Copies of this chain bind each other. A is one copy, B any other.
Amino acid sequence: MSRQMVRPGGRSARVQAAVHTAVRELEAELGRDGLTVPLIAQRAEVTPSTIYRRWGDLAQLLSDVAVERLRPDTAPQDHGGLASDLTAWAEQFLDEMASPAGRAYIRDALLGDPDGSNAGQCSAYAADQVDVILTRAAGRGEDTPGVETVVDHVVAPLMYRILFRPAGLDAAHARGLVAGLLEGDAAEK
Contacts and interface: CB of A to CB of B under 8 A. Distances in A.
Contact of A180 (B155, B159, B188): B188
B111 A164 contact: no
A153 B153 contact: yes
Contact of A157 (B152, B161, B165, B166): B152
A86 interface: no
A123 interface: yes
B164 A120 contact: yes
A163 B120 contact: no
B165 A120 contact: yes
A130 interface: no
**What is the total number of copies of this protein in its complex?**
2
Contact of A119 (B156, B157, B163, B184): B163
Interface string A109-132: 011000010011011000000000
A180 B145 CA distance: 13
B107 A164 contact: no
A177 B184 CA distance: 13
Contact of A164 (B123, B164, B165): B123
Nearest to A155: B160
A156 B160 contact: yes
B123 A165 contact: yes
Given A156-B160, A157-B157, 4 more contacts: A110-B111, A119-B166, A123-B164, A156-B157
